[in-house]
Structure 1
Amino acid sequence: MTYIDQLKREIQLKKTPKRIISLVPSQTELLVDLGLESSIVGVTKFCVHPKHLRMSKAVVGGTKQINIEKIKALRPDIILCNKEENTKEIIESLEAIAPIHVSDIYNLDDCFELINMYGEIFNVQRTTSTLVANLQLDREAFQLQFQNTDKLEVAYFIWKKPWMVAASENFIDAMITEAGFVNVFKDDKRYPEVDLSNPKLKEADLIFLSSEPFPFKEEHVLELKAQFPEKTIKIVDGELFSWYGSRLQKSYSYFQTLHN
């Protein structure tokens, strides 16, 4: 059977994969929520949801560094990767071991496409169709509730030393829009370094400090509050702005609390 991944690469599978390695935390969680936990044989050290998974599955490294020999020994039927999370070198090094499915996520439509792809590959179409339908209902209900509210401008920090923000052409930017805000750095690309004197920070109504990948804490809120005393500065759940897949089931209710 021939399948196409999100980089338009062809993948040949002789049968439904029963031994899965996932090198992407959000995709690992999605597999579990699709009822495929028993088929997962390998995960990364960053696959923290569900919490018990790293104790019951082989940990094959991180998202940027992997143990090739450990992966070979697990005899996977398929390895799941992501264009942004995993390097091109990693993907190329794994191609001789098993078919590789690569996701490429920039927005909600990409998420829905990936979920449906997994439905076909792992023969769980009914489960994936229900998940996508429920996510679309959550999205529509949220948009209906907040369609007439003024959209506040947000600066979304993902790193310190150097200070870095999420700009455009990434999934976080899409989720900032989904949450009913405007990314003040939308005219910039990807994840630029910024100086705290950047005039766009003065334009922002809100400053969000993401809980990941940099673990912002209350001390960082106070540090920025000294620089921008008039602004609302808040630590936000980075997973609900950057994890795609089944974690999206929690995103819209969280976004509602941010507005409230």
Structure 2
Amino acid sequence: MVFQDQLQRSIQLQGVPKRIVSLVPSQTELLCDLGLEQSIVGVTKFCVHPNHLIKEKTIVGGTKQVHLDRIAALQPDIILCNKEENTQEIVEACKAIAAVHVSDIFTINDTLELVKMYGDIFSVKEKATAISQAIQVEATGFKEWVQNKPVKNVVYFIWKKPWMVAANNTFINYLLSINNFKNSFGDLSRYPEIALDNDDVTVDYVLLSSEPYPFKEKHKKDLKNFFPNAKICLVDGEMFSWYGSRLIKAFRYFKTLHQDYLH
């Protein structure tokens, strides 16, 4: 059987994969929600949902550095990667071990395409369809709810020392736009380092993500002097950067965020 991934690469499979290595946390969660947990043999140390998984499966490394010998020893039928999360070197090295599927996610439609791909590859089409429909229902409902709220300027921090933000050409930026947020660094690309003395930036909300840097309450004061007129909030980074089945929960979280904190 021949399938395509989201880089339009052809993948040859002998049958439905029974041994899966996932190198992407959000995709690991999606696999479990598709009922494929028993087929997962290897995960990264960041695959924390469901939280029992890293105790039961072989840890093959992180998302940027992996132990190829551990992956090979697991004799996987397929290895699941992501263009942003994993390096091209990792993808190329994994191709010598097993078939590799690479996702490339920027929008909800990209997510829905990935869910369908997994439904086809792993022969779980019914569950994939149910997840896709749930995502679409939640997304539509939230877009209708938020559409009349005023547009607010935001900065979304992902790192400290150096200070780094999510900018354009990212899934985070896409979800910010759905929230009726205007990214104050939207003219930049990807995840740039920024100086905190940029007087040209207008900010209503400063969002401190829980990942990859674990921002806490104590970090708010580090930024208050630079954004004195902005409201500084801690946000769940998984909701803004994990795709797949996490989006079902994400839109509910966004609504709560607006109601409880951003008013």
Per the TM superposition, whether the score is higher than 0.5 is yes
Cα contact 2:153–2:183 (8 A) shared by 1: yes
Structure 1: which amino acid aligns with 2:171? F
Give CA-to-partner distance per residue, 1:39-58, whole Å, 9 cap, x none.
00000111011110011111
Q: Which runs of no fewer than 5 residues in structure 2 stay unpaired?
A: none
Match of 2:247 in 1: 248
**Local SS of the residue matching 1:199:** coil
Match of 2:130 in 1: 130
Structure 1: which amino acid aligns with 2:258? H
Take 1:42 and 1:198, find their aligned partners in 2: how far apart are those partners?
44
TM-score (norm 1): 0.97
Is 1:83 the counterpart of 2:64 in the alignment?
no
Match of 2:220 in 1: 221
Give CA-to-partner distance per residue, 1:78-137, whole Å, 9 cap, x none.
000011111111111111110000001111111111011000000011111111111111
**Please, which moves more after superposition, 137-146 or 231-240?**
137-146
Shift of 1:199: 2.8
Cα contact 1:184–1:200 (8 A) shared by 2: no
**Local SS of the residue matching 2:18:** coil
Shift of 1:10: 0.2
TM-score (norm 2): 0.96
Take 1:137 and 1:20, find their aligned partners in 2: how far apart are those partners?
29
Cα contact 1:21–1:42 (8 A) shared by 2: yes
Match of 2:256 in 1: 257
Structure 2: which amino acid aligns with 1:204? V
Take 2:227 and 2:185, find their aligned partners in 1: how far apart are those partners?
17
Cα contact 1:210–1:235 (8 A) shared by 2: yes
Shift of 1:230: 2.1
Structure 1: which amino acid aligns with 2:20? I
Take 2:131 and 2:22, find their aligned partners in 1: how far apart are those partners?
20
Q: Report the aligned-residue RMSD.
A: 0.9
Structure 2: which amino acid aligns with 1:243? W
Shift of 1:163: 0.5
Cα contact 1:23–1:63 (8 A) shared by 2: yes
Shift of 1:226: 3.0
Take 2:133 and 2:89, find their aligned partners in 1: how far apart are those partners?
36
Match of 2:48 in 1: 48
Structure 2: which amino acid aligns with 1:218? E
Identity percentage of aligned residues:
56
Take 2:200 and 2:86, find their aligned partners in 1: how far apart are those partners?
31
Cα contact 2:204–2:229 (8 A) shared by 1: no
**Local SS of the residue matching 1:136:** helix
Is 1:193 the counterpart of 2:189 in the alignment?
no
Structure 2: which amino acid aligns with 1:62? G
Take 1:54 and 1:133, find their aligned partners in 2: how far apart are those partners?
29
